Structure 1
Amino acid sequence: MANNTAEPRFARLREIPPAVWALGFVSLLMDTSSEIIHALLPVYLVQVLGASMVTVGFIEGIAEATASIMKVFSGAVSDWLGKRKLLAVIGYGLAALTKPIFPLAPSVGWLVAARFVDRIGKGIRGAPRDALIADVTPAHLRGASFGLRQSLDTAGGFIGPALAVGLMWLTVNNFRTVFWIAVIPAFLCVALLVLAIDEPERPAGLRKVKSPLSAAELKRLGLAYWFVVGIAVVFSLARFSEAFLILRAQAVGLPVTLVPLVLVLMNLVYSFAAYPAGALSDRVNRITLLSIGFGFLVAADLVLAFTNGLAGVAAGVALWGLHMGFTQGLLATLVADTAPPELRGTAYGMFNLLSGLSLLVASVLAGELWEHVGPQSTFLAGAVFTALAFSGLAMARRIAPNVGDGGKFE
């Protein structure tokens, strides 16, 4: 019986296009590099460079908002060109070139600049990469394909912090040496992207887009797409930077050398949840699964708000990973479901711009609440915003009942 159940899952994995697998491993390598640095950066900022909690929130928020702003332009350019890979190479290449800034930075200002430029690279590559996945994937495999890429990307999210823990131990907490080692997988990532991925030809009958960001083209994206974006914007107010998970663990007594284990646990759960959630969404309504993901975030926020021990923080972090697995790939899949094929780059760009600006607000607000009220208020605010996003899902089901039913809007 177990073998019969497992076989369709493996068959579905074999059906996923090779380009999606390659893009997944590209993401894994870059995320490994980034997360080695990201796992240590909040503590490095606060303990070594003397930054405040508000500064941490601002840096994390502005970094992600920068990436989101760039995505709207790179996505639109990819629709105008009808090409995705070139922009992905530029984006990953820029991120790789900026990695050496982290070990060389003598002050908070330099680290802000490094994060800023690194996120510009992320912004350039993000929308074209996701649009490329949507372009090469059949509608009935979209959830599985986006889930696989997210799962591989997130594998880098626990491999990186795990390496950070081991390297911090080997180097006796030498932050800069560990940051130098993080440069290696970033350059391997760019080599894989250049050599292993061939972009498909643009379909002959696909409408050419001259002004992707014009009001007329944005209107073509349709009501269902804008519902997805609206839900994501409210939801982003709830999911502030994971830097606050690290700082919560440190606040209850986790030693600095073991702090990266927070991201190891979160991303381990996230990685293992993302593909099954995506594959399941090809067979059931995606909005239903997204609702489950929102529920996991409320539970995570409540646990992290009221716990006073490491076991409670670990449970909250695991629930946070589950919510990521049940939401991030599904939201990306819903964009592909609802956006016209010729505007997919623009669709991902607008989606990431608006949700990224929301994340900026969320991260700054989280830092302010933590600094002036306390950690509990930060996580309780997250639970409230998640509840608001959940009510948006219910409204979407009433007004646009077919959202979430796969390729309905093709």
Structure 2
Amino acid sequence: MYVADARTASESSGPGPHPGRTLGPLPAADTRAVARPAARTVLRAVPHTVLVLGTVSLITDVSSEMVTAVLPLYLVAELGLSPLGFGLLDGVYNGVSALVRLVGGHLADRGRRHKTTAALGYGLSALCKPALLAVHSVPLIGAVLAVDRMGKGLRTAPRDAMISLAAPPEAQGRSFGVHRAMDTTGALLGPLTAFFVLRTAAGGFDAVFVVSFCIATMGVLVLLLFAPGRVPAPAPPSGAAVTPAPATGRPAAAAATVSVRAALALLGRPHLRRLTGCAFVLGLATVSDSFVYLLLQRRLDLSERWFPLLPLGTAGAFLLLAVPLGHAADRFGRWRVFLAGHLGLLVAYGLLLAPTHATGEPVGPVTVAGLVVAGLPVAVLVLHGAFYAATDGVLMAAAAGSVPAELRASGLALVQTGQAGARFGCSLSFGAVWTAWGSHTALIVATVTLATCVAASAFIRPIAVPIAAPNAAGETI
């Protein structure tokens, strides 16, 4: 429906024959009056597919963030895990996802089974929630987390491919921003739900895992019942000619061969290769969210019962800024917004290194110094959320324009894999440095590394081309 509406508006604006369906002649004055508002309406609308996938992500993130909010405390305080051990588990948590994203992208592109592959990933992650009830040793917990991340790896690229295929090229950033805002609403509700479950339920952590499983099951059902089985190719930009399908009778997307070799060959495109390289380099200095929250908890000497609320600051900023920054990326350049997000993260690391945060003492009475100590964590969490709002969906929007529709999931998976693999290495190294020399030294190393990586990425920046008018290779940024 979205594609048909876009073509209707385009084909009715101006004289002369147009390929495809026509609406009949209209007087010149009426044509302008009808076509322009229709075009503006189409460009501003959010595709139905994006809203459905956003709802699925919202529900699923309530479930997953319930576990994520209590997991660091459960492993470190309940099981006595060292920072190095937690860094290893956290690396597995993200690294396994990186390894299977290419598989998920390839399975989705073969036969355009985006929904089926995504549903498999969501279902696998849902089944892991009750499994946490039965395991209490670190190796078994690591195995369950690895399977959970396999589910995330399978679903991420197909889901993002469905979003990019449903949205017009000039509104990719906005569409991903809307999806990420809905996703982050779940991330905001998840820690709150975990907080209330921990305070009211007798089972403690076990109760959190049970409630998380029930919510995750709802997300899978919404995907199966309401998401379209196949997503049509996106509408062309306003004023662009509509290219008819080949004479073979098959869609243009089906004419190309989907294979692992074809997916890897996408890195031959300069824009996608440089974008993947930058995502990898910057991921090497992106400290895990869990480590950021542990640092804040220890610096402020927060009670364990308040720990699940720390992610709310990040999620709240992400929610408020996802759509505005997505729109800004469409208007001013996706690469600029992406790099600016990492500069914000660099400032957040600097605030964590401030002397008032290095004492580890509880927040004192209401004084000027006390207000500064209380205000810095808020600033850190807001910058942390702004970082995700400027990078998460924006990176996918920047990459989508360089990948043909028939390889969309595979191409996005390449970028995601590079980024997730680098963050896996960062979790391991940060945990090792923390264990050997302390958290302050580990954060100094991460800050210096991030500053270096931002400078390197600014130097090797991807080739910028106009957003609303892709070049011959289909590249946009």
Q: TM-score, normalised by structure 1?
A: 0.91
Paired residues of 2:281 and 2:422 also in contact (CA < 8 A): yes
Q: Flag the 1:288–1:175 CA change in 2: closer, same or farther, 3 A.
A: same
CA distance in 2, matches of 1:36, 1:345: 28
Give the secondary structure class of the aligned counterpart of 1:401: coil
Q: Flag the 1:137–1:118 CA change in 2: closer, same or farther, 3 A.
A: same
Tell me the CA shift for residue 296 of structure 1. Answer: 0.5
| Residue 383 of structure 2 corresponds to residue 319 of structure 1 | yes
Task: Report which stretch shifted further, 263-272 or 305-314.
Answer: 305-314
Alignment correspondent of 2:132: 102
Tell me the CA shift for residue 265 of structure 1. Answer: 1.0
Alignment correspondent of 1:282: 330
Looking at CA atoms only, which structure, 1 or 2, has the larger radius of gyration?
A: 2
Specify the code of the residue in structure 2 equivalent to 1:343: L
Residues 302-341 of structure 1 mapped to structure 2, 5 A cutoff: 302-306=350-354, 307-308=357-358, 309-341=373-405
Tell me the CA shift for residue 32 of structure 1. Answer: 0.8
| Residue 290 of structure 2 corresponds to residue 243 of structure 1 | yes
Specify the code of the residue in structure 2 equivalent to 1:401: A
Tell me the CA shift for residue 234 of structure 1. Answer: 1.0
Residues 5-154 of structure 1 mapped to structure 2, 5 A cutoff: 15-154=45-184
Give the secondary structure class of the aligned counterpart of 1:283: helix
Paired residues of 1:225 and 1:335 also in contact (CA < 8 A): yes
Alignment correspondent of 1:4: none
Structure number with the higher helix fraction is: 1
**Identity, % of aligned pairs?**
28
Residues 229-378 of structure 1 mapped to structure 2, 5 A cutoff: 229-252=276-299, 253-306=301-354, 307-308=357-358, 309-378=373-442
Specify the code of the residue in structure 1 equivalent to 2:252: G
Paired residues of 1:75 and 1:345 also in contact (CA < 8 A): yes
Q: Flag the 1:201–1:141 CA change in 2: closer, same or farther, 3 A.
A: closer
Q: Flag the 1:359–1:332 CA change in 2: closer, same or farther, 3 A.
A: same
Q: Flag the 1:148–1:290 CA change in 2: closer, same or farther, 3 A.
A: same
Paired residues of 1:303 and 1:316 also in contact (CA < 8 A): yes
Pairs aligned (count): 401
CA distance in 1, matches of 2:108, 2:339: 32
Task: Report which stretch shifted further, 94-103 or 377-386.
Answer: 377-386
Q: Which runs of 5+ in 2 are unaligned?
A: 1-39, 234-250, 359-372
Paired residues of 1:229 and 1:354 also in contact (CA < 8 A): yes
Specify the code of the residue in structure 1 equivalent to 2:286: R
Tell me the CA shift for residue 338 of structure 1. Answer: 1.8
Give the secondary structure class of the aligned counterpart of 2:331: coil
* Cα deviation digits, residues 62-81 of structure 1 (max 9, x gap): 11111111110110122222
Tell me the CA shift for residue 126 of structure 1. Answer: 0.8
Tell me the CA shift for residue 14 of structure 1. Answer: 5.8
Specify the code of the residue in structure 2 equivalent to 1:372: A
* Counterpart pick for 1:402 among 441, 462, 465: 465
**Higher RCO (C-alpha under 8 Å, 6+ residues apart):** 1
Alignment correspondent of 2:370: none
Paired residues of 2:114 and 2:230 also in contact (CA < 8 A): no
Tell me the CA shift for residue 165 of structure 1. Answer: 1.4
CA distance in 2, matches of 1:390, 1:373: 25
Alignment correspondent of 2:445: 381
CA distance in 2, matches of 1:137, 1:176: 40
Q: Flag the 1:225–1:395 CA change in 2: closer, same or farther, 3 A.
A: same
Tell me the CA shift for residue 13 of structure 1. Answer: 9.0
Paired residues of 1:74 and 1:127 also in contact (CA < 8 A): yes
Alignment correspondent of 1:5: none
Give the secondary structure class of the aligned counterpart of 1:103: coil
Tell me the CA shift for residue 269 of structure 1. Answer: 0.8
Task: Report which stretch shifted further, 222-231 or 281-290.
Answer: 281-290
CA distance in 2, matches of 1:406, 1:304: 42
Paired residues of 2:166 and 2:232 also in contact (CA < 8 A): no
Give the secondary structure class of the aligned counterpart of 1:260: helix
Q: Which runs of 5+ in 1 are unaligned?
A: 1-9
C-alpha RMSD of the superposition = 2.3
Q: TM-score, normalised by structure 2?
A: 0.79
Q: Flag the 1:406–1:282 CA change in 2: closer, same or farther, 3 A.
A: farther
Tell me the CA shift for residue 173 of structure 1. Answer: 7.8
Tell me the CA shift for residue 129 of structure 1. Answer: 0.8
Tell me the CA shift for residue 249 of structure 1. Answer: 2.1
Task: Report which stretch shifted further, 214-223 or 41-50.
Answer: 214-223
Q: Flag the 1:316–1:390 CA change in 2: closer, same or farther, 3 A.
A: same
Q: Flag the 1:221–1:40 CA change in 2: closer, same or farther, 3 A.
A: same
Give the secondary structure class of the aligned counterpart of 2:229: coil
* Cα deviation digits, residues 317-345 of structure 1 (max 9, x gap): 22111111111111111110222222211
* Cα deviation digits, residues 249-304 of structure 1 (max 9, x gap): 22120110000111111111112111111112121111221222111011001111
* Counterpart pick for 1:193 among 223, 232, 252: 223
Paired residues of 1:26 and 1:193 also in contact (CA < 8 A): yes
Specify the code of the residue in structure 1 equivalent to 2:435: E
CA distance in 1, matches of 2:255, 2:456: 34
CA distance in 1, matches of 2:192, 2:456: 37
Paired residues of 1:209 and 1:342 also in contact (CA < 8 A): yes
Tell me the CA shift for residue 42 of structure 1. Answer: 0.8
